[in-house]
Structure 1
Amino acid sequence: MPVCAPPPLAEEIPMPEQTIRSRAALGGHPLHPMMIHFPVAALFGLVASDLGYLLSGDPFWARASLWLAGVGAFGGWLASIAGLVDLFSVRRIRRLVTGWCHAILAVMMLSLASLNWLQRYLAAEQILPWGLYLSLLTALLIVLAAWLGGRLVYEHAVGVDVEG
């Protein structure tokens, strides 16, 4: 028995018989999963910068929060366009309850993120308490939407190329 043998695999997720191709793709690569990383990182960073402002009161954190909220909200809406193209143009995705739940959660999350940015834009120093609450709720909705997005990829093979 080899010394460096990999551990036995746990239960593998069965791959669907047929994949669902993305219509919003570049060179065969779906755009939506490529575009969500910066907005997600910005909105999680927003929670951290809000906590930095809460703990220190330093206006730097208020300015950082304004920028992170803006990048997260506007970048998220741009990424959602690619997701909506797939949802509305691919019949097999429209038939998935998981796809609709993912989309509805994402719209709710982006609406909260946009409200959060607007509140900060109009009154930059007014982060506490509502800005922090909106940031935390947005982060929770991101986690739920990401879980559903993962289910779309791993259980329904949305945007997966198993032929290549």
Structure 2
Amino acid sequence: MPTLHPFTVHFPLALLLVSSLFALLALRTGRNAWATSAYHCLLVGCLSGIVALLTGVADATRQVAGPDAIYGNDIMRLLNAHAFTSIAALACYTAALVRQHRQPTIIADRLARRGYVGLHALGALLLLLSAWLGGRLVYSVGLGIGV
């Protein structure tokens, strides 16, 4: 069975990072169109992130617990770090989505936007770290290749 996770990670990665960029542009320019675009990218990015998370769990389970398992402490540490940072990033972006859904003019509110922008910044850092760890799993360990 082919691995599905590599095919599902690119949309949420791009959409969530672009939502952070759009949120910063909305903050900088004060234009609501950027905030609206950030919201839509967040919405689709979070939904596709859930799909990527589920395919990642399915692929990892098959590859580290199946009959052809590639298993070792180093691999499991990398895999767990990748999973943790992915879940944490998705949680940050989902919290930002909920905040913007509840308060569409969050960019205009000086106090509320601090937390919103902070969630975007933390989510972006965690997402980039997760992507790097995922790359290590593929290119250093060989997880997901030829399975």
User: TM-score normalised to the size of structure 1?
Assistant: 0.76
Distance 2:17 2:6 in 1: 17
What is the RMSD of the two structures over their aligned residues, measured on CA atoms?
A: 1.7
**Percent of residue pairs bearing the same amino acid type:** 30
Counterparts of residues 17-96 of structure 1 (less than 5 Å) = 25=1, 28=2, 30-90=3-63, 91=65, 92=69, 95=72, 96=76
**What is the aligned counterpart of 1:102 among 65, 82, 87?**
82
The superposition leaves residues 111-145 of structure 1 with CA deviations (integer Å, 9 ceiling, x where unpaired) of 11111111111111114222211111111001110
Structure 1: give runs of 5+ residues left out of the alignment: 1-24
Distance 1:154 1:104 in 2: 19
Larger Rg: 1
Aligned length: 135
Structure 2: give runs of 5+ residues left out of the alignment: 108-112
**What is the aligned counterpart of 1:124 among 104, 122, 127?**
104
Distance 1:67 1:148 in 2: 27
Residues 120, 93 of structure 1: CA spacing in aligned structure 2 closer, same or farther, 3 A cutoff?
A: farther
Larger relative contact order, structure 1 or 2 (CA cutoff 8 Å, min sep 6): 1
Residues 133, 145 of structure 1: CA spacing in aligned structure 2 closer, same or farther, 3 A cutoff?
A: same
Distance 2:70 2:16 in 1: 27
Normalized per residue, the structure richer in helix is 2
Q: What is the deviation of 1:94?
A: 6.4
